[in-house]
Amino acid sequence: MSQLSTLFRIMIDTVLPIFVVVGLSLLLGRWRPLDINTLSRISIYLFSPALILVNISQSHLPGRELGLIVLASIVVCILLALSGSLIARGLRYEPALASTFILTAFVMNSVNFGYPFIEFAFGKTGLESAVAFSMGQVLMAYLVGTYVASRGSGSWKSAVTNVITIPMPYAFALGLWLNVSGRTLPMPIVQASEVLAQGAIAVMLIILGLQLSHAQLAGRLRPIFVATVVRFGLGAAVALGVALLFGLQGVTRQVFILEASMPAGVLSGVLSTEFGGDPEFAAATILVTTLLSALVLSGLFLLLG
């Protein structure tokens, strides 16, 4: 019982600050008309690449373990994206809804929700594994996610064009090279990247609040329910299988499964807004899964312990 009460306290400490920012952004969006598309582009082309570059280049995990966790998280995302695609096709969702449904299946909130949760639960050791997981997950979110979101309203050619023109994969490659080689960028670039990285999470939460200010749940309850089951249930099941396949043990295994079971990521709404999906469905699914995450993650944490 003490474990459960402690975890609920952790969840409250983690969730409430997130909802304060989202709630203020929601109220602002209803009070003053704001351009969500501009904020989404700023997030995609400035803040997010800086966040990836800083996290990867400054990671302290041993190279082999870092690579193993990143590869395992990529496998999880691919399996969840394929599963989401099959489910969306089986339920005959229209293209925009289908693309966003797939996004919510494999784009989890591993950073601005996962990081504080894991750090409270496992300390700095667990946070290192969480950062490694998010490296592969965020990379796949931008590569596969951009393609999936673009397919919701355009051709495969435009989807491929969007994938190769976003800066996140290049930031990932540069950060990994810096980490392995021990080299550093010029100090002004390092400082600028750190400033932008610090703003990435706040901007994503503001975008979520603005999306929620226009979100409509009516007529969407069934796909939201399905997306919630997929995000939590399938996410945990797939992560457990992949963790066993890659031989992940101890805290690393626990963190890996918990990170894969986080609520739907804000990035699914950002990509839907920018590249053509259903951002209102994304926002509603993010809201529902985040609200339910306290109960779901509490139970999963106790099971893994």
Residue 158, domain CATH: 1.20.1530.20
- pLDDT of 98 > 80? The answer is yes
Q: Which residues of 138-159 are buried (b: 16+ CB within 10 A; e: fewer)?
A: bbbbbbbbbbbbbbbbeeeeeb
At residue 120 the predicted structure's pLDDT band, cuts being 50, 70 and 90, is confident
Confidence at residue 237, expressed as pLDDT on a 0 to 100 scale: 97
Report H helices in the chain.
2-31, 36-42, 48-57, 63-90, 95-106, 114-151, 156-165, 168-181, 187-212, 221-229, 235-246, 250-260, 266-275, 279-304
Section 38-66 average pLDDT? 83
Map tokens 């339910």 to a residue: 292
**How many CB atoms sit inside 10 A of residue 86's CB?**
11
**How many CB atoms sit inside 10 A of residue 186's CB?**
8
Cα separation, 213 vs 132, in Å, equals 33
DSSP 214: T
Amino acid, single-letter form, for residue 151: R
At residue 4 the predicted structure's pLDDT band, cuts being 50, 70 and 90, is low
Amino acid, single-letter form, for residue 271: L
Least trusted range by pLDDT, from 79-83, 108-112, 178-182, 236-240: 108-112
Range of the domain at 267: 2-304
Amino acid, single-letter form, for residue 17: P
Query: By C-alpha distance, which of 282, 303, 277 is closest to 99?
Result: 277
Map tokens 């999880």 to a residue: 76
The pTM for the full model equals 0.80
Query: Could you report the per-residue pLDDT of 101-110, keeping only the tens digit for each?
Result: 999 999 998 8
Mean pLDDT across the chain? 84
Report which of residues 14 and 70 the model is more confident about: 70
Domain count of the chain?
Answer: 1
At residue 157 the predicted structure's pLDDT band, cuts being 50, 70 and 90, is low
Q: Are 55 and 200 in contact, with CB atoms under 8 Å apart? A: no
Q: Are 107 and 139 in contact, with CB atoms under 8 Å apart? A: no
Task: Look up residue 184 and give its two tokens.
Answer: 């550093």
Confidence at residue 163, expressed as pLDDT on a 0 to 100 scale: 67
What number of residues does the chain have? 305
Q: What is the largest CA-CA distance in the chain?
A: 54
Does residue 231 sit in helix, strand or coil? helix
Least trusted range by pLDDT, from 7-16, 119-128, 162-171, 292-301: 7-16
- pLDDT of 225 > 90? The answer is yes
Confidence at residue 232, expressed as pLDDT on a 0 to 100 scale: 96
Amino acid, single-letter form, for residue 204: M
Report which of residues 267 and 217 the model is more confident about: 267
Section 128-157 average pLDDT? 76
Cα separation, 261 vs 231, in Å, equals 7
Confidence at residue 253, expressed as pLDDT on a 0 to 100 scale: 94
